[in-house]
Amino acid sequence: MKPSMALPTAKTKALCGAGAVLLTVLAAASLFVGKYPLSAEKLLAGDELQRRVFWTLRCSRTIVGVVGGFALGAAGFIYQTVFRNPLASPDIIGVSSGASAGAAAGILFLSGAAAVTASAFAGALLAVVLALTLSGLDQRGRNSTIVLAGIAVHSLAQTALMCLKLTADPERQLASIEYWIMGSLNGISLHSIGGNLVLCAVCLTALFLLHRQVILLCAEEGEARMLGVDVGRLRLVILLIATLVVSSVVSLSGLISFVGLLAPHGARLLTRDNRVGTMLLSGLLGGCLLCGADILARSIAATELPVSIFTSLLGAPFLIFLIVKGRKCP
Amino acid sequence: MSFFSAQGISAGYGADDIIKDISFSVEAGQLTGILGANGSGKTTLLKAICGILPHSGSCTLKGEGLEELSPKKLARRCSYIPQRSGISIDISALDVVLMGFNPRLGLLESPDSAMISAARQALTRVGLTGMENTNYLHLSEGQKQLCILARTLAADSSLLLLDEPESALDFRLRHRMLHTIRSWLAEADRCGIVTLHDPSLALNFCDRLLLLSGGVLTGCIRPGEDDLDKMEAMLETIYGELSLLRCKNRSGQEQLVMLKEGRI
């Protein structure tokens, strides 16, 4: 019997297998590559410095690279499908700008990395709740209303960010804000990621379980309603869950561009469908992209560079390659 | 009590109503056609009946008010085929048909093997045999309409609402689609309401035709019972001067044919 809806095709299974292998290889490389090179022998021999670098620096950034990239890729798939827009991303409902404003407030008024993370998370969540509440004023729950509410909240968050930047100390605080906005997996502590990872895992599981409902939302609104879908409510719930996924990642890493946009496109161009296997592949590609970009960000120059530079540098040629390949083989 | 009845339906997209105070009923097994010029409110009427558009008045199916039902319960009783589906992502024809089972599935449930088998049968019934794994976006517009019809047949609801389901189909497929719909309606306790642009098709496949003009119901034709002169006069209120003929094809089957008269 041929597969359907929930079941991935043999090709998708093979692609997911290859993606998982590549992600494992990159994760292993991420553990050992950096300014202070680690070796398996010394680690196993119990070298104290090597162990400390492994546990305090490499482990946490590798976990965030893998899980964060996967989460951004899978959430990007959700946004693009729900909004029926190939350019849709978390920015569309203001989550990134809310997180930026929250992080800036944290840098200015709180102390410690954990406080900045919590503040960024609160900012992202506040922006999304505001956008979804505003869109709820339209009882028909149209896509366009959510997008308009997102644009309004995005503008408000950008204004708040500008005001915070104006009051920031140009030497330290302003630089920290700019560096956070550029995104980096540097300096993430293993102790501070637990809550975010649990939230991310729970929300990702929910999104995978709701995949069939997500696909139903790709129909025209009236058509979806006549398929028994409570369009307005379901879309709000799915967007809220997807946003929690993104918020849990960007509050740790800062803004990471392109992963949520590129990974779903790459996965769809490879599988040519939107089944649950494609969503999984989108997550795996996101993980590979973020891990690969992070390895380059910390090993190419004398100082660590923002990871977003490399997610775009790696991702754009890959996407162009897939588009050209896809045109040749319709 | 009628199988389906609409009482005093008024609806529109803004402040003004496009359709005003429309009332009619449909008996079980019957296919009712709605004829009208462009902009007369045919699609608005269908959208109001199935609850996509807010409206005043009430619709009753087998004694149950459609307005009080949850989206899932409504979808179990009533199916709607839009003029064009909004699906714009890569998805197989089989997966599109399986969407029709959603009203019977829980939030986290997936279609079972019986549903997959029924979806394949529905595709075969509309003439899309062997296309179940074809990308829906790669189908022709006519094949897409047939695929959406298969989804509706698989949904197995009691009230079928079709909005110009034949608009992208060729001559042969138009007849085949309406024949499929008629035989499907006859199989169980069901009725259908269809808007059609082609009056000849409507005259030959519908039990009753409602004439809509300026958002108001202006008349009702029973092609099997009414005489030609009466039908001609009523159709002329929509289409201008015309003549209606009863002709027999080579196998002796009588059909109604509408011809345009006078200046076009």
* Residue from A205, A220, A227, A231 whose CB has the most chain B CBs within 10 Å, to mutate: A227
Pairwise CA distance, residues A155 & B21, whole Å: 45
For residue A274, give the nearest of B75, B91, B99 by CB distance.
B91
For the record, the structure tokens of A175 come out as 């630089």
Residue A4: pLDDT above 50?
no
Q: pLDDT tens, A257-312?
A: 789 888 998 899 899 889 999 999 999 999 999 999 999 998 888 888 888 889 88
In a domain, A5, yes or no: no
Of A315-324, B20-29, B173-182, least confident by mean pLDDT is: A315-324
Taking an 8 Å Cβ-Cβ cutoff, which residues of chain A contact chain B?
1-2, 4-6, 81, 84, 209-210, 212-213, 215-216, 218-223, 225-231, 268, 272-275
Q: What is the mean pLDDT of chain A?
A: 86
Lay out the sheet containing B4-11: strands in order across. Answer: B19-26, B4-11, B55-61, B64-65
Spatial separation of the C-alpha atoms in residues B135 and A113, rounded to whole Å: 48
Buried b (16+ CB within 10 A) or exposed e, B36-50: beeebbbbbbbbbbb
Which one, of B16, B7, B15, lies nearest residue B56 by Cα? B7
Q: Which residue of chain A has the CA closest to B138?
A: A330
CB contact under 8 A, A4 and B98: yes
Q: What percent of chain B has pLDDT over 70?
A: 99
In the structure, what pLDDT confidence band is assigned to residue A52 with cuts at 50, 70 and 90? confident
Q: Closest Cα of chain A to B130: distance in Å? A: 12
Residues of chain B in contact with residue A81, where contact means CB-CB under 8 angstroms, are 89
Q: Which residues of B touch A (CB under 8 A)?
A: 47, 50-52, 70-72, 74-76, 78-80, 82, 85-92, 94-95, 98-100, 102-103, 105, 107-108, 110-111, 113, 116, 119, 132-133, 135
Q: Name which of B87, B110, B113 is nearest A218 (Cβ-Cβ).
A: B87
Closest Cβ opposite residue B110 in set A6, A221, A223: A6
pLDDT bin (cut points 50, 70, 90) of residue A13 is very high
Task: State residue B202's pLDDT score.
Answer: 93
Confidence check: pLDDT of A6 > 60: no
Domain carrying residue A230:
10-325
* B115 band by pLDDT with thresholds 50, 70 and 90: very high
Instruction: Give yes or no for residue B203 having a pLDDT over 50.
Output: yes
B116 and A4 within 8 Å at the Cβ level: the answer is: yes
DSSP string for A146-182: HHHHHHHHHHHHHHHHHHHHHHS-TTTHHHHHHHHHH
Alpha carbon A199 to its chain centroid, in Å, reads 13
What is the per-residue pLDDT across A136-188, written as a single tens digit (0 to 9) for each? 777 665 667 878 888 899 899 999 999 999 999 888 889 889 888 888 888 78
- pLDDT above 50 for B100: yes
Angle in degrees, CA A10, A272, B121, rounded to 5: 70
Nearest CB to B102: which of A221, A222, A227? A227
Select from A271, A273, A276 the least CA-distant residue to A212. A276
Chain B CB contacts of A230 below 8 Å: 70-72
Min Cα separation B145/chain A (Å): 13
Contacts of A210 in chain B (CB under 8 A): 107-108
Tokens of B161: 């609402």
Q: Are B245 and B199 in contact (CB under 8 A)?
A: no
The radius of gyration of chain A from alpha carbons, rounded to an integer in Å, stands at 20
Domain count, chain A: 1
Structure tokens at A269: 């161009």
The mean-pLDDT minimum among A81-95, A194-208, B162-176 falls in A81-95
Please check whether residue A222 lies inside any domain of the structure. yes
* Measured distance between the N- and C-terminal CA atoms of chain A, rounded to whole angstroms: 25
Segment A228-250 shows an average pLDDT of 89
For residue A189, the domain's CATH number is 1.10.3470.10
Tokens coding A97: 């700008």
A95: closest CA among A251, A263, A308, A282?
Answer: A251
- Residues of chain B positioned with their CB less than 8 A from the CB of A223: 80, 82, 85-87
pTM of the model: 0.86
Dihedrals φ, ψ of A103, to 5°?
Answer: -65, -40
Position A326 confidence tier, pLDDT thresholds 50, 70, 90: low
pLDDT > 70? residue A1: no
The verdict on a CB contact (< 8 Å) between A84 and B90 is no
Within-domain flag for A1: no
Contact B90 A272 (CB under 8 A): yes
Residues from chain A that touch B89, judged by Cβ atoms under 8 A, are 81, 84, 215, 218, 274
Which residue in chain A is spatially nearest to B54 when comparing CA positions? A140
Q: What is the dihedral of CA A188, A191, A197, A199, to 10 degrees?
A: -120
Establish if A252 belongs to a structural domain.
Answer: yes
Q: Give me the pLDDT at residue A72, please.
A: 94
Q: Which whole number is the average pLDDT over B56-62?
A: 94
The rounded distance, in Å, linking the Cα atoms of A12 and B149 is 29
**Mind giving me the DSSP string for A88-118?**
--GGGGTHHHHHHHHHHHHHHH--SHHHHHH
The owner of tokens 């090179």 is A37
A3 assigned to some structural domain: no
* Nearest CB neighbour to A229, from listed B50, B52, B102: B102
Domain assignments of chain B as residue spans, ordered by start = 87-156
Average confidence score pLDDT of chain B? 92
- Tell me if A67 is assigned to some domain: yes
Q: How high is the pLDDT of residue B79?
A: 93
Give the best-scoring range by mean pLDDT among A218-222, B42-46, B79-83, B236-240: B42-46
Q: How does pLDDT run across B66-92, given as a tens digit for each residue?
A: 999 998 999 999 999 988 888 888 899
Query: Residue B76: helix, strand or coil by DSSP?
Result: helix
Q: Indicate yes or no: CB of B95 within 8 angstroms of CB of A5.
A: yes
Q: Is the pLDDT reported for residue B47 higher than 90?
A: yes
Helix ranges (H only) for chain A are 10-32, 40-45, 48-53, 59-82, 95-109, 113-135, 143-167, 173-182, 194-209, 211-216, 221-225, 231-253, 259-271, 276-299, 307-328
Among the residue ranges A53-67, A85-99, A287-301, B195-209, the one predicted with the least confidence is A85-99
Angstroms from B45 CA to nearest CA on chain A: 14
Cα atoms found within 13 Å of the Cα of residue A271, Cβ hemisphere only: 32
Residue A317, Cβ neighbours under 10 Å: how many?
Answer: 10
Q: What residues of chain A lie within 8 A of the CB of B107, using their CB?
A: 210, 213
